[in-house]
Amino acid sequence: MCDTIVATPQVTTHGEMLFGKNSDREPNEAQYLEKIDSADYAPGERLQCTYIEIPQAPHTNAVILSRPFWMWGAEMGVNDHNVVIGNEAVFTKMPFEKQSGLTGMDLLRLGLERGNSALEALRIMTDLLEQFGQGGNCGYSHAFFYHNSFLIADAAEAWVLETAGKEWAARRVTGSASISNGLTIRREFDLRSRGLITNAVKRGWCTSENEFNFADSYEDRFYRWAGACQPRQKRTSERLNAGHGTLTERDMIAILRDHKRGENEDVLPSQGVHGMSVCAHAGFGPFRDSQSVGSLVVRLMVGQPAEIYYTATSAPCTGIFKPAWMDCDLPDFGPAPTGKYDDRCLWWRHERLHRAVLEDFENRLGAFSAQRGI
Active site residues: 2
Give me the helix-helix angle, 249-256 and 229-242, nearest 10°: 160
Residue environment code for 315-342, b if the CB has 16+ CB neighbours within 10 A, otherwise e:
bbbbbebeebebeeeeeebeeebebeeb
Radius of gyration (C-alpha) of the chain in whole angstroms: 19
The whole-angstrom separation of Cα 374 and Cα 371 is 9
280 contact partners, CB below 8 Å, separation of at least 6 = 1, 22, 24, 290, 291, 292
**Three-state DSSP class for 280?**
coil
The whole-angstrom separation of Cα 200 and Cα 374 is 45
H-helix or E-strand spanning residue 163: strand 158-164
CA 315-316-322 angle, to 5 degrees, is: 125
Within 13 Å and on the Cβ side, how many CA atoms surround 351? 26
The CA–CA distances, whole Å, from 285 to 1, 218, 276 equal 15, 27, 12
